[in-house]
Amino acid sequence: MPCSKNWKKPMSTLEVRTPGHTYSIRIEKGLMSDLGRFLGPFNHGQKWVVFTHPGLYEQFGSEILTALEDSGFDIAFITMPEGEASKTIANVNRIYDQLLKQNCNRSTTFIAFGGGVVGDVTGFVASTFMRGVGYFQVPTTLLSMVDASVGGKTSVNLASGKNLVGTFYQPLGVLIDPDFLRTLPVREIVSGMAEILKCGAIRDKTFFRKTVKNLTHLIALMDQAPLIETIEAACAIKARIVSEDEKESGLRRILNFGHTIGHGIETALSKTGFRHGEAVAYGMLAAGYLSHRYGKLSSAEWNELREALWQLPLPALGRIDPDKVLAHIRHDKKYSHKQLNFVLLEELGRADISADISHAHIIEALNYLTRSIHKET
């Protein structure tokens, strides 16, 4: 049985180094209760605005306020609804109005306190308000810890698709407190674990296999030591990729493994409450199928990837309308010059971009998912 003695003591700090900015990712238990100490060097008497959603505000608002006011911070809060409904131009306009009413200016600093949606919106507003103000990411979900909070992608949605309006705008820092994970339902842990498996699948075969070996314990949060190290390793993979390719002109595109079809599934099934990581897991199954089907990924490693993803307790996929998925993909940022830049695996730990995947291939992959649901769940 896997146990924590097989895992090293996790490091506490990673760095993201982009051409214009270097910042730290701090991972530490109990960090939340000591925000004033970590943020103190950045406080120069300016207004600080914490962006969050109402549930987190009710649960942690007083703690944040006390911790920061006791350290001499001038704090205000702005809340937004949970979920993708917040990632709209209308909500961003509402936020701009609130910032002006609170006399915010170019010296104001933001804190994104929440999951990926809060981080995306806060980063987008930070990058555009007064032509750009500083912000910190304090992610509270596993998915946002290993994905949305790292790398500086900010975005809002349009009616025709996810994340179609956005900027690359790096935070001043990322503060990750694993204690938040004990407040999450299992589905949120599973959603984040899908992104962690993605990191290994595209860049580090050893890490992928180690995570799969311990997957049941990690999802159950049975031991924080391996969980913290897993978060750190996933963040380190993304930090290295972002440091090499900040604006997705080359290497960074491999982080989209599973996301092209995954985003299509997420959009098509948005009314069913599908989570982002769950849709990406199905997207990785589809992309893995195409990787094997068209001669890149070996049979042995395709089986390894497939069996790993089926270990995740994913919700039933149900019926998928291929036309809805394809409609989303036509508006996808990875679709340019009438070609779809699709991420495939050459082998576990090594991904590549292919422009040879057609709509017919997408439909074939969706049909594979439909056929396999009843056989493998």
| Residue 201 covered by a domain | yes
- Per the residue annotation, which of 276, 292, 328, 361 is the catalytic one? 276
Same domain, 289 and 248: yes
Is 252 annotated in the active site? yes
Is residue 238 annotated as part of the catalytic site, yes or no? Answer: yes
Q: pLDDT digit string (tens) for 76-112?
A: 999 999 988 899 999 999 999 999 999 999 999 999 9
Instruction: Say whether 195 is catalytic.
Output: yes
Name the active-site residue from 157, 163, 214, 256.
256
Give the pLDDT confidence of 302-349 residue by residue, as tens digits: 999 999 999 999 998 877 888 888 888 877 666 555 668 899 999 999
Catalytic residue among 162, 252, 275, 296: 252
* DSSP string covering 136-192: EEEE-SHHIIIIITSS-EEEEEETTEEEEEEEE---SEEEE-GGGGGGS-HHHHHHH
- Domain end, chosen from 117, 150, 183, is at 183
Domain that holds residue 88: 10-183
244 part of the active site: no
Specify whether 253 is catalytic: no
In a domain, 294, yes or no: yes
Handedness of CA 211, 213, 216, 222 (dihedral sign): negative
Does the annotation mark 28 as catalytic? Answer: no
CA-CA distance, 244 to 246, in Å (whole number)? 6
pLDDT at residue 6 greater than cutoff 70: no
The pLDDT value given to residue 376? 52
Tens digits of per-residue pLDDT, 263-274?
889 888 877 888
Residue 222 resides in a domain? yes
| C-alpha neighbours within 13 Å on the C-beta side of residue 68 | 25
Decide the pairing of beta strands 342-347 and 350-354.
antiparallel
Residue 7 has pLDDT above 70, yes or no: no
Q: State the catalytic residue, choosing from 188, 232, 246, 248.
A: 248
Taking residues 285-295, report their average pLDDT.
94
Q: Is residue 1 part of a domain?
A: no
| pLDDT score for 336 | 56
| pLDDT exceeds cutoff 50 at 118 | yes
Judged on CB neighbours under 10 Å (0-12, 13-18, 19+), 319 is exposed
Q: Is there a domain that residue 218 lies in?
A: yes
Residue 372 pLDDT:
77
Using DSSP bridges, classify how beta strands 161-168 and 74-79 pair: parallel, antiparallel or unpaired. Answer: unpaired
Whether residues 173 and 103 share a domain: the answer is yes
- Does 263 qualify as catalytic in the annotation? yes
Mean per-residue pLDDT of the chain: 91
DSSP at 18? E
Identify whether 107 is part of a domain: yes
| Selection from 30, 26, 177 nearest residue 113 by Cα | 177
| Number of domains, the chain | 2
CATH number at residue 303: 1.20.1090.10
The last residue of one of the domains, among 161, 183, 205, is 183
167 and 103 share one domain: yes
Query: 62: burial class by Cβ within 10 Å (0-12, 13-18, 19+)?
Result: exposed
pLDDT of residue 356: 86
Task: Tell me, yes or no, if 333 is annotated catalytic.
Answer: no
- What is the arithmetic mean of pLDDT over 221-233? 89
Asked if residue 191 has pLDDT above 70, the reply is yes
Give 30-45 pLDDT, tens digit per residue: 888 889 999 999 999 9
Does the annotation mark 328 as catalytic?
Answer: no
CA-to-CA separations, 73 to 66, 216, 310, in angstroms, rounded: 10, 42, 47
The amino acid present at 41, given as its one-letter code, is: P
Q: Please choose, from the candidates 1, 39, 11, the residue with its C-alpha nearest in 3D space to the C-alpha of residue 225.
A: 11
Q: What is the average pLDDT across 6-19? A: 70
Final residue before a domain boundary, out of 158, 183, 208 = 183
Classify residue 10 by its DSSP letter: P
Residues 279 and 342 in one domain: yes
| Band of residue 203 on the pLDDT scale cut at 50, 70, 90 | very high
CATH number reported for the structural domain that contains residue 96 in this entry? 3.40.50.1970
Q: Two tokens at 51?
A: 């962006």
pLDDT tier at 370 (50, 70, 90 boundaries)? confident
Residues 6+ away with beta carbon under 8 Å from 138: 32, 35, 111, 112, 113, 174, 175, 176, 177
| Residue 338: predicted pLDDT | 60
101 is catalytic: no
- With beta carbons less than 8 A apart as the criterion, state whether 261 and 282 touch: yes
Judgement on whether residues 169 and 207 belong to the same structural domain of the protein: no
Q: What percent of the chain has pLDDT above 90? A: 74
In the chain, where do the E strands start and end? 13-18, 21-27, 47-52, 74-79, 109-114, 134-139, 153-158, 161-168, 173-176, 335-336, 339-340, 342-347, 350-354
Yes or no: say if 174 and 150 are a contact pair by the CB < 8 Å rule: yes
